[in-house]
Amino acid sequence: MTLIVPFAAGGSNDILARHLGDGLSKIWGQPVVVNNMPGAGAAIGSAHVSKAAPDGYTLLIASVTFTMNPAVQPNLPFDPRKDFQPVAMLGQVPLVLVVGKALEAKTVQELVATAKKQELNYADSGLGTVNQFGAELFAQSAGITLTPVHYKGGSEAMTAVIGGHSDMFMSSMTQALPLIRGGQLRGLVVTGKERATVVPDIPTTDEAGIPGVDVQQWWGIMAPAGTPMDVVEKLNADINKVMSTEATKEFLARDAGRPTPMSVQEFSDLISAQLKKWPEVADKAGIKIE
């Protein structure tokens, strides 16, 4: 069994893949090899899996970018709808909208009011990233316009907000949490319908009166299209076993994540819905990678 991570080692996809691999190895009594194949916004590793034998022995750990990339990259070397079989959802974590000390807004309502009076910008970690999609979906739901400022990565974007060069950043909880706790950044709102246990005082977008900002960083497992459904169902059951253990819950909770076990059909429906959702957000915001 080989689990392809389409990103470099050390990131959230890689760390979660290795945790899952260890759990599956114990169930199956055989090793699960994690192979990093980064590049082209996850397209290289994803294309590799799309062309693999559909026997359940080569799997892809996908994230929310799997459903966002097609919205901004029309020439992907695979078809996300036709070349993959969704297998299982692993878990998800909300994003958090953070501002620096230079911005006076103490609540998201004050931020929205300010944005209606003057031009504000947001930092992102690159064109077409989850940070940009999250910020644009927030702006569309709040009825405001925000100007994007692109940086080469999340660390650069975060530094820009801390230094007052950008007004806000829709950050992953993992990256923002130490800076929120340290006082360098102020968290105004978390995306989705549930508060994050690691920052229980920060309201959700729904609670703040800005519904519909349901963007989560999630991870799931995909197989090549044509993988037999009995194999897919077996993989789904065993993956859900690993993700439902107390050890996994504690592992994800460190960064406000939570396991989200789903049936094959439920995960397939989520993929289909998001492949429809993100192009609509991109078109409205003018997000496009030439």
pTM of the model: 0.89
Cα–Cα distance measured from residue 21 to residue 31, given in angstroms and rounded to the nearest whole number = 8
Cα–Cα distance measured from residue 179 to residue 81, given in angstroms and rounded to the nearest whole number = 38
> Which amino acid appears at position 285 of this protein?
A
Q: What angle do CA 192, 172, 160 make, to 5 degrees?
A: 125
pLDDT attached to residue 76: 92
pLDDT attached to residue 74: 83
Average pLDDT, integer, range 13-23 = 94
Question: For residue 23, what pLDDT band results from cuts at 50, 70 and 90?
Answer: very high
Write the pLDDT tens digit of every residue in 213-224: 989 999 999 999
Q: How long, in residues, is the chain?
A: 290
39: helix, strand or coil: coil
pLDDT attached to residue 8: 86
**Which residue, among 136, 176, 118, 42, has the nearest Cα to 149 in the 3D structure?**
136
For residue 241, give every residue at least 6 positions away whose Cβ sits within 8 Å of its Cβ, in sequence order, or none.
23, 27
For residue 89, give every residue at least 6 positions away whose Cβ sits within 8 Å of its Cβ, in sequence order, or none.
218, 219, 220, 260, 261, 262, 266, 267, 270
Say if residues 278 and 132 touch (Cβ distance below 8 Å): no
Write the pLDDT tens digit of every residue in 29-83: 999 999 999 988 789 999 999 999 999 999 999 999 999 999 998 889 999 999 9
pLDDT attached to residue 153: 84
Cα–Cα distance measured from residue 100 to residue 162, given in angstroms and rounded to the nearest whole number = 5
Q: Residue 10: is its pLDDT beyond 90?
A: no
Cα–Cα distance measured from residue 197 to residue 93, given in angstroms and rounded to the nearest whole number = 11
Compute the mean pLDDT over every residue in the chain, rounded to the nearest whole number. 94
Write the pLDDT tens digit of every residue in 129-188: 899 999 999 999 999 999 999 998 888 999 999 999 999 999 988 889 999 999 999 999
Average pLDDT, integer, range 253-258 = 84
The secondary structure of the chain in percent helix, strand, coil, rounded to multiples of 5, reads 40, 20, 35
Average pLDDT, integer, range 97-106 = 94
Average pLDDT, integer, range 260-283 = 96
Q: Residue 290: is its pLDDT beyond 70?
A: no
E-assigned strand segments in 173-290:
186-190, 216-224, 258-259
Question: For residue 248, what pLDDT band results from cuts at 50, 70 and 90?
Answer: very high
Average pLDDT, integer, range 94-120 = 95
